[in-house]
Structure 1
Amino acid sequence: MNAYLSSEEVVQLRDAALEAGFADPSVRPLLFDGIMLKYRGTLPLVAAPGRQVHSDLNEMNRVERLIDGSVPLEIWLRNAVVQTTEAGPLAAFQRALDDVARAAGGEPDIMTDMPAGEIKEEIIHRDDTVPFEFLRGGDLAGRAVARVKVPPYQAGTPLQPNGFPHSGTGWLIAPTLLVTNHHVVNARSRNGAQRPQAEPADLQLQVQHSRSRFDYDADEVETDESTATGLVAWDEELDYAILRLTTEPSRPVLRVSTQPLTVAKGEYVAVNIVQHPGGQPKRVALRNNLVYEANDRDVHYFTDTRGGSSGSPVCTDDWKVVALHRGTRRVEDVNFQGRSTAFVNVGTQLSTIMRHLEEHSGEVHAEIQAAQAS
């Protein structure tokens, strides 16, 4: 078998690995994750870390495939892509991965029966595919999301004549705890730049008369609505509210991130949002909805949402919630997909909400922690 890569290409990979910090011995197990242990044990060990990387690449480059059908160099390169954020090394690893994967699959670079200059396939910029399990995870996450309707009350009675329920989105963070935005349960329209605040007693009445509809995936399907006993925690500034449902909906809760989402300049981070825009059946915004920036409190992202999407979970590709969607912010000099945009969407970091709960609503925080750990 001929080697997958030339000796010059192996040297280029070694240099990229050194630039990415892969000479650190603690990183080596991450790069070999998924490669047969028996084969890994046959690789020579070298005292100098940089030479160890070069030795590993040379050895794997000479192995067509293992007895289980896997290609060790291809697996190593896939792991290298995952572990790399620097643009230069990432491009080198992705280019080598494309070449090795194509060669391992027996595919020619140029098809003779195709037009000149056309190749069978190619990765555009970076590999944006995800495991098929991503779809199953999204289906499971969607079961925890509900359309929320909240009727406005004033002075203990339904607000008239504009007493139509306000729509939003909520999701289970614990078996009987539903989280959404404070402005959703506040159920008041904006007045210029200000949103009137419901009195505390009216706020509780609004929550108690709210209806949360799970499995609202299509208009043709009737599903039950859940009621709530009251509001157990909230904050106007962070714009979150947690409702206690009357009965447990008996469905999985969404997992939340305890660490803030961080995004380095030029880093590619996609987020996914399950929502009920306009109070309509459930919709999902997937993966090309990239994060623009993030700080300790907020995450800004390019995602299609509408009124009624407030309170939606903002999830990474493992369907862990990193932010609570709350609205849109006007921006200047921002481009997305080659066009300027005047708006980016904004959500509150879940880690910030959890920290606020720990400081101000200890029992609710403990209940959520227990549910997340189960």
Structure 2
Amino acid sequence: MVELTVEERQRLVTVLASIPVLATESGRAEILTLAGLGELVPHMDVTGPPLVAASRIVTHLSTYGRISRDQEALGRLLNLASTLTGREQQDFMAALLLEHRMMVPVSPSRPVSSWRGPDSPGGIEEKIITSNTLRPVHFLEQALTAARSVCHVEVRKGARGWTGTGFLVGDDLLLTNEHVLPSQDLLTGTRFLFNYEDDSAGRPKPVESVSPLDGGYFLADRSLDFTLVQLAGRPAERWGRLILADSPPQVGERVNIIQHPGGQPKQIALQSNFVEYLDDTVIQYVTATLPGSSGSPVLSDDWQVCAVHHAGGDLREPSTGNRYFRNEGFRTCQILKQLPSDLRARLS
């Protein structure tokens, strides 16, 4: 717990309230998340005018206590907030951090004018935060774990053939698009290839081909463009499985797509993948996909599947009828509703 004096608290609240990005509720949540305090945001009241919200935030964090042995929750916020202010405010917050042993202050930044060129835009001196692209390093470990359960789907029918992507959602259950695998009679000519990817040196890894289970589950739904198929040998014991999310990311948040674009070895789209539309049935987002990506998992940042990717291009937004160049997936919550109860139980 941090026990500020009345004067320290008043000045700190005033300084925080003057930071432009903290003028809005969304900006406050963003800064708290950037400070590594995202798990506390749902339990805080960050609404109201800047002075009121800043006071509530300081009260909550100062009474919360330590995030780790060497860091107070309030210290995390002050260390980040100091980078968004002038030198005088930086010195004040650094003094608070040291006086109350909250954590070691960050190194103060140099004034922008010391490196700004004469032709730089006038607004360059102001710090602007648009979207948080910082992630903990273990985010990459989680991505690799999630990627293991994604496979290349190769379908052959006579002289014809096509490819897509699928992923394990149960011990032996795989989800893909209906337009990738529309009928059960195609299973005899279908291969599910796991580990179809390159290693860190760019060399192909050994691929495992898994067969469908004879007489196993097969459910195809054209309206939501999904197929659920049962594979032989419980492949999730080797490759893991993905969890279907109860709730989706919101508009403006990111999604990640693990896929086999163009029938190529496994790839992942991580960066500028923003959700632009959401309703009860579909999610529309901007990201990089190609033919062959159909059936890929659309994953939230906690690596749960919120949708199954099925289309991209000049798409109609359902609520407005307007057309946008986007990608689209059907939400997993709607897919789950279409499954028999015994299958739903196997995915829990």
Deviations 1:188-231 (CA, angstroms, capped at 9, x unpaired): xxxxxxxxxxxxxxx22212431111111136333121110255
Q: Which residue of 241, 244, 247 corresponds with 1:256? A: 244
Aligned to 2:163: 167
Distance in 1 of aligned mates of 2:172 and 2:68: 50
Match of 1:185 among 178, 181, 185: 181
Pick one of 254, 264, 272 that aligns with 2:256. 272
CA contact (8 A) 1:232 1:364 kept: no
Counterpart for residue 362 of structure 1: 341
Q: Distance in 2 between matches of 1:67 and 1:227?
A: 48
Whole-Å Cα distance in 2 between the matches of residues 9 and 112 of structure 1? 22
Q: Which of 158, 172, 178 pairs up with 1:176?
A: 172
Partner of 2:232: 246
TM-score (norm 1): 0.65
Aligned counterpart for 1:282 among listed residues 253, 266, 282: 266
Cross-structure match for 1:151: 156
Q: What letter matches 2:223 in structure 1? A: E
Please give the secondary structure, in 2, of the residue aligned with 1:151: strand
| Matched letter for residue 365 of structure 1 | R
Corresponding residue SS for 1:165: strand
What SS class does the counterpart of residue 207 from structure 2 fall into? coil
Contact 1:32 1:75 in 2 (8 A): no
RMSD over aligned Cα atoms? 4.1
For 1:70-149, list aligned pairs within 5 A. Answer: 70-76=71-77, 98-99=84-85, 104-110=105-111, 114-115=115-116, 124-149=129-154
Q: Which residue of 2 aligns with 1:209?
A: 189
Relative distance call for 1:66 and 1:170 in structure 2 (3 A) is closer
Taking a change above 3 Å as real, the CA distance of residues 286 and 9 of structure 1, as seen in their structure-2 partners, is: same
- How far 1:18 moved relative to its partner? 10
Matches within 5 A, 1:256-335: 256-263=244-251, 268-331=252-315
Secondary structure (helix, strand or coil) at the match of 2:74 reads: helix
Establish whether residue 233 from structure 1 lines up as the match of residue 219 from structure 2: yes
Shift, 1:168, TM fit: 0.4
The answer to whether the Cα contact below 8 Å between 1:207 and 1:243 also exists between their aligned partners in 2 is no
Where 1:213 maps in the other structure, the secondary structure is strand
Distance change (3 Å), C-alpha of 1:297 and 1:273: same
Could you report, residue by residue, the CA deviation over 1:256-294 in whole angstroms, capped at 9, with x for unpaired residues? 11234443xxxx211100000111100111131111101
Q: Distance in 2 between matches of 1:297 and 1:66?
A: 39
Question: 1:362 and 1:56, CA in 2 relative to 1: closer, same or farther beyond 3 A?
Answer: closer
Q: Distance in 2 between matches of 1:18 and 1:349?
A: 30
The number of aligned residues is 289
* 1:40-60 superposed Cα distances (whole Å, 9 cap, x missing partner): xxxxxxxxxx98973762797
CA contact (8 A) 2:177 2:225 kept: yes
| Counterpart code for 1:165 | G
Closer, same or farther: CA 58–151 of 1 in aligned 2, 3 Å: closer
Match of 1:344 in 2: 326
Structure 1 unaligned segments of length 5 or more: list them. Answer: 23-29, 35-49, 79-93, 153-158, 187-202, 334-340, 370-374
Q: 1:52 to 1:332 in 2, by over 3 A?
A: closer
Maintained 8 Å contact 1:273/1:286:
yes
Distance 1:52 1:122 in 2: 21
CA distance in 1, matches of 2:146, 2:312: 24
Which runs of no fewer than 5 residues in structure 2 stay unpaired? 29-35, 41-50, 95-104, 318-322
CA contact (8 A) 1:291 1:300 kept: yes
Identical aligned residues as a percent: 28
Range that drifts further, 218-227 or 107-116: 107-116
1:270·1:316 contact (CA, 8 Å) conserved in 2?
yes
Find the counterpart in structure 2 of residue 54 from structure 1: 55
Aligned counterparts of 2:253 and 2:325: Cα–Cα separation in 1: 18
For 1:211 and 1:19, how far apart are their aligned partners in 2? 49
Offset from partner CA, 1:137-194 (integer Å, 9 cap, x none): 1000000000001122xxxxxx3xxx232100000000100100011013xxxxxxxx
Matched to 2:186, the amino acid is: Q
1:352 and 1:342, CA in 2 relative to 1: closer, same or farther beyond 3 A? closer
